[in-house]
Amino acid sequence: MTVDFEQVLCPISSHDDVITLAHGSGGRKSAQLLNDVILKHLRSEYLAPLQDSASIPVRGTSLAFTTDSYVIDPLFFPGGDIGQLAVIGTVNDLSMSGARPLYISLGLIIEEGFPIDTLSRIVKSIADTANRCDVQVVTGDTKVVNAGKADGIFINTAGVGSIDHPRPPATDRIAVGDAIICSGDIGRHGCSVMAQREEYDFATSIKSDLAPLHLIVEELLSANIDIHCLRDLTRGGLAGCAIELASSSRTRFELQQEHIPVSTEVRSLSSILGLDELYIANEGCMLTVLPQTDVNQALAIMHRHPQTKLACVIGEVTEGPGDCVLVTPFNTKRKLEQLTGEMLPRIC
Amino acid sequence: MTVDFEQVLCPISSHDDVITLAHGSGGRKSAQLLNDVILKHLRSEYLAPLQDSASIPVRGTSLAFTTDSYVIDPLFFPGGDIGQLAVIGTVNDLSMSGARPLYISLGLIIEEGFPIDTLSRIVKSIADTANRCDVQVVTGDTKVVNAGKADGIFINTAGVGSIDHPRPPATDRIAVGDAIICSGDIGRHGCSVMAQREEYDFATSIKSDLAPLHLIVEELLSANIDIHCLRDLTRGGLAGCAIELASSSRTRFELQQEHIPVSTEVRSLSSILGLDELYIANEGCMLTVLPQTDVNQALAIMHRHPQTKLACVIGEVTEGPGDCVLVTPFNTKRKLEQLTGEMLPRIC
């Protein structure tokens, strides 16, 4: 069911003097680009921890600040659209640092010739989603580029949130012995987008898991559950996220394969496509790393929310060199590696 | 020297069911798109005033929050590059609401095949400029789209600043009798980019006026100069900006044509191209609207900074229906209208 990504996915034309799709994958090439080109010049106190959001001090108060661009193709997919994605993605990024999402900026880059009624649908979707997430779009910008110089529409949102909790989740709080909870079944977002693309006209009922997680996070934090780290499983999927967290915290993330929730539909489709669901992007799914003593209370809260009703412990943080291993049902261990190519381009 | 934009610039193919370049011009079509499509759905307390930045309350403190996408072509131009532009544009937008710029987010959308050393030059330029402007890039995102689906690189930055002043500049503080100061000679940014484009291979010495204005603004505010409104003269140029401010404040902006600083080079080039320098984008030039009594002190401060050494009073706010008129040297008046087409696409 799994494939050798090293061999299959690394494009033959890939070399390091031009940008390839792999540089946007959230995998190994993305990390290389980040380190060798971006952080080389832009290293800063707040950028360094590579959280979903930066925690920044402003006049004695602590804020979360984050940004994401959305280049998803197609713009409308089962379970959502680019507008919903642009709001929810940023709301979730703020939530993952324990912040209460407050304000969003909206940057639109539109290709000349883009239908205005499609734009209107997308903007309405942004407004409805912002409303649903209790965030306000407070500033925006629209640029138009010549026909053929962009692909329909790209959206950037940045978000500002308030970090009210005294000990917010952060990568450096991950501790050996912590439990790892996965909040839901994985792979639905990527599969739904993939199935929608013209070249793969599958009849499938898979819908994206796209959903805001901020209310669940707020409830967990209000209940004084000592969450050490939160991370949503977007680009790079569960594996990409677990590898990154293990690497940052210099521990080992040991995941029990048979505990990881995956629907039959996602398993079948990813199997047909030769994809590994562990690496497929999600948009409403998160890892929660927390002390074992807090697990039952956290799961009780999660199970009350439809979005996280399948939440379960999928593994544990152990001592290690900063890697992630998958324990198979036969109790063998497979080391998970960051993708070197791009499995599903333009999934978010 | 001026042209009838209504007739010349409105593209023949322009109709209202698809996006045209004019929708990104900062002119009439942009305003239509903003009102009919974007604000229709997204009207909010903070978005409504249409300042360069939104002023948002967070836990008892007042912040400025702004965003801009940069799609300029070419990426490198005399006097700057897209990286400098992406930092300075956002720094200036924060300054215009009287905020001290603090943090910047960086969203990169890169086309597959883009040279990594060009990316590296741009990121270095971003880092150097952020350093020079005393802002930190604290969060970022990189997306890669397939070859042919974007044009090299698009950059979005959002910015957060702290509004420390008790009475920051705002459109609703513009008052009849106020003086209007223009901080420098206009049209250099647009002309430099235009001259650089392959199709117009002019030999010209015009350099973009691209420069951060935040230190000058901070000095003006610290000196307790009662600035009513600030606006940088980007898309839409001096005319677009003055028309917008007059319209928002329901006054008349009366500009004295002979007082508006324009270099001979810009005047010649724009004349050759049939462009009106009043509408050409600037990236280091602002209007300051303030009481007549504060003019001398403001000019004295501005004249100490190289970027604003040509600052001068170019007009006055009078009673009016929300329009802008240009008083010619012959004392005739010309009403300035928002552009209906796009004079210079992808200038920022």
DSSP string, A278-302: GGS--SS-EEEEE-GGGHHHHHHHH
Interface membership of B63 toward A (CB under 8 Å)? yes
Structure tokens at B184: 């420098």
Span B44-163: which CATH code? 3.30.1330.10
User: CB A150 to CB B146 under 8 A?
Assistant: no
B-contacting residues of A 152-181, CB under 8 Å?
154, 156, 158, 160, 162, 164
Residue of chain A minimizing CA distance to B60: A61
Write out the H or E segment, with its range, that includes residue B188: helix B188-196
Q: CA nearest B343: which of B264, B257, B274?
A: B274
DSSP category for residue B322: S
In a mutational test of the B interface, the residue from A25, A67, A94, A128 whose CB has the highest number of chain B CBs within 10 Å is A67
Interface membership of B116 toward A (CB under 8 Å)? yes
Interface membership of A39 toward B (CB under 8 Å)? no
Fold: same for B44-163 and B171-336 = no
Q: CA nearest B116: which of A35, A7, A46?
A: A35
Q: Which of A46, A111, A342 sits opposite B138 (nearest CB)?
A: A46
Predicted confidence (pLDDT) at residue B203 exceeds the cutoff of 80: no
Strand partners, B68: B157
pTM recorded for the entire structure: 0.93
How many residues are there in chain B? Answer: 348
pLDDT tens per residue, range B140-198: 999 999 999 999 999 999 999 999 999 999 999 999 999 999 999 999 999 999 888 86
Burial of B301 (0-12, 13-18, 19+ CB in 10 A): middle
Q: How confident is the model at residue B3 (pLDDT cuts 50, 70, 90)?
A: very low
User: CB A71 to CB B142 under 8 A?
Assistant: no
| CA B206 and chain centroid, separation | 18
Rounded Cα gap, residues A156 and A348, in angstroms: 11
d(CA A216, nearest CA chain B) in Å: 22
Of residues B224 and B58, more confidently modeled:
B224
Q: Is B130 left (phi over 0), alpha (psi -120 to 50) or beta?
A: alpha
Q: Are A123 and B41 in contact (CB under 8 A)?
A: yes
Predicted confidence (pLDDT) at residue B199 exceeds the cutoff of 70: no
DSSP category for residue A244: H
Q: Write down the domain spans for chain A.
A: 44-163, 171-336
Q: Which residue's structure tokens are 């935040």?
A: B214
Q: Are A269 and A197 in contact (CB under 8 A)?
A: no
* B-chain residues near A16 (CB < 8 A): 116
Predicted confidence (pLDDT) at residue B5 exceeds the cutoff of 50: no
ipTM above 0.85, yes or no: yes
CA angle B257, B263, B268 (to 5 degrees): 90
Q: How many CB pairs under 8 A join A and B?
A: 288
C-alpha R_g of chain A = 19
Structure tokens at A304: 């009350």
* B-chain residues near A345 (CB < 8 A): 144-146
d(CA B134, nearest CA chain A) in Å: 12
pLDDT tens per residue, range B224-254: 999 999 999 999 999 999 999 999 999 999 9
Burial of B262 (0-12, 13-18, 19+ CB in 10 A): middle
CA angle A217, A184, A348 (to 5 degrees): 85
Structure tokens at A111: 């290709």
> One digit per residue, pLDDT tens: chain A, 348 residues?
233 333 334 443 445 799 999 998 888 888 889 888 998 898 877 775 567 789 888 888 899 999 999 999 999 999 999 999 999 999 999 999 999 999 999 999 999 999 999 999 999 999 999 999 999 999 999 999 999 999 999 999 999 999 999 999 999 999 999 999 999 999 999 999 988 886 666 677 899 999 999 999 999 999 999 999 999 999 999 999 999 999 999 999 999 999 999 999 999 999 888 889 999 999 999 999 999 999 999 999 999 999 999 999 999 999 999 999 999 999 999 999 988 877 778 889
Interface membership of B343 toward A (CB under 8 Å)? no
Strand partners, B326: B255, B334
* B-chain residues near A70 (CB < 8 A): 143
pLDDT tens per residue, range B74-125: 999 999 999 999 999 999 999 999 999 999 999 999 999 999 999 999 999 9
Predicted confidence (pLDDT) at residue B12 exceeds the cutoff of 70: no
Task: Name the residue type at position A283.
Answer: E
* B-chain residues near A151 (CB < 8 A): 145, 149-150
Rounded Cα gap, residues A323 and A248, in angstroms: 9
Interface membership of B38 toward A (CB under 8 Å)? yes
Residue of chain B minimizing CA distance to A45: B138
DSSP category for residue B330: T
Q: What is the 3-state secondary structure (H, E, C) of A15-59?
A: CCCECCHHHHCCCHHHHHHHHHHHHHHHCCCCCCCCCCCEEEEEC
Confidence (pLDDT) at A317: 98
Rounded Cα gap, residues A52 and A286, in angstroms: 12
Burial of B288 (0-12, 13-18, 19+ CB in 10 A): buried
Burial of B319 (0-12, 13-18, 19+ CB in 10 A): exposed
Q: What is the mean pLDDT of residues B306-330?
A: 97
Q: Are strands A136-145 and A100-111 parallel, antiparallel or unpaired?
A: parallel
At B55, phi and psi to the nearest 5? -100, 115
Confidence (pLDDT) at B7: 34
Interface membership of A197 toward B (CB under 8 Å)? no
Report the percentage of chain B scoring pLDDT > 90. 76
Alpha-carbon torsion (A266, A269, A272, A273), positive or negative = negative
In a mutational test of the B interface, the residue from A45, A138, A164 whose CB has the highest number of chain B CBs within 10 Å is A138
Distances A49 to A56, A267, B301, B318 between C-alpha atoms, Å: 12, 34, 41, 53
Rounded Cα gap, residues B264 and B269, in angstroms: 9
Distances B194 to B66, B72, B78, B154, B345 between C-alpha atoms, Å: 27, 11, 10, 18, 9
Q: What is the mean pLDDT of residues B52-69?
A: 90
Q: What's domain A171-336's architecture?
A: Alpha-Beta Complex (3.90)
Rounded Cα gap, residues A320 and A249, in angstroms: 10
Q: What strands lie across the sheet with A100-111, from one edge to the other?
A: A54-58, A61-70, A153-162, A100-111, A136-145
Rounded Cα gap, residues B223 and A243, in angstroms: 53
Q: Are A127 and A38 in contact (CB under 8 A)?
A: no
Task: Name the residue type at position A230.
Answer: L
